[in-house]
Amino acid sequence: MKPEIRRSFSAGLALVACAAAILVPPRVGRWLLLLAGALLLIETTAHRFSASGRVVGLGLLALLLACGWTVYYQPGAPVDLFEDGLALGPASAYLQGARPYVDTYPVHGWGADGGFDALLFRAVEPSLQTLRLRRAAVTALALTALALCAYSLFESIRWAAVALTASLCLPYHVWPA
């Protein structure tokens, strides 16, 4: 195996270990973080770090996916009557046979205001936990897709990171003054 492929595999493995450390319980996560740090330290000090982008990129995407999931999946958070109710109300109505734009008025669109949740509730148990799982999964996947779009536009991990950071820092609601 070529040294640069071995280094990129080790770096990708370290990033995947970091992503897993975010998702697992803290007592297991600290060992995964220690392993990831050791792998990265060994590879960067032993040889000049010139990894091929694929494995490292996949590791970064796994890390980004895990971060997005962790930020948005909060199972013990209190119920937000406005935000959670905005999706749960129409979803409950759709489960009872209501029609979008006739019986309900989805302000943000059918999918965002209970439509996707109603479809999911038909497959699994309708609950607040299911809503939170769906919201976390969609948000984590959207964050990863945004990173992939930035990379496909700039074809450089550094510029993609700058573009991703800028797109996350810019406000998405532009109100006229």
Instruction: Taking residues 159-166, report their average pLDDT.
Output: 86
Longest dimension (CA), the chain: 66
Instruction: Taking residues 136-164, report their average pLDDT.
Output: 86
HSE (side-chain half, CA atoms, 13 Å) at 16: 12
Which pLDDT does position 10 carry in this prediction? Answer: 67
Last residue of a domain, one of 27, 56, 72: 72
pTM beyond cutoff 0.75: no
HSE (side-chain half, CA atoms, 13 Å) at 35: 16
Residues 84 and 68 both lie in one domain: no
Residues 150 and 96 both lie in one domain: yes
**C-alpha–C-alpha distance, residues 148 and 162, integer Å:** 13
- Overall domain count for the chain: 2
Residues 148 and 177 both lie in one domain: yes
CA separation (Å) from 52 to 13, 16, 159, 163? 13, 16, 16, 21
HSE (side-chain half, CA atoms, 13 Å) at 158: 0
Residues 58 and 142 both lie in one domain: no
Last residue of a domain, one of 16, 41, 72: 72
Per-residue pLDDT tens digits for 44-95:
555 544 455 566 677 777 778 888 888 888 888 888 888 888 888 999 999 9
Q: Domain limits at 15?
A: 1-72
Last residue of a domain, one of 72, 87, 105: 72
Which pLDDT does position 50 carry in this prediction? Answer: 47
Per-residue pLDDT tens digits for 30-39:
666 666 666 6
Q: What are 45's two structure tokens?
A: 């000090």
Question: Which residue type occupies 11?
Answer: A
More confident residue, 118 or 51: 118
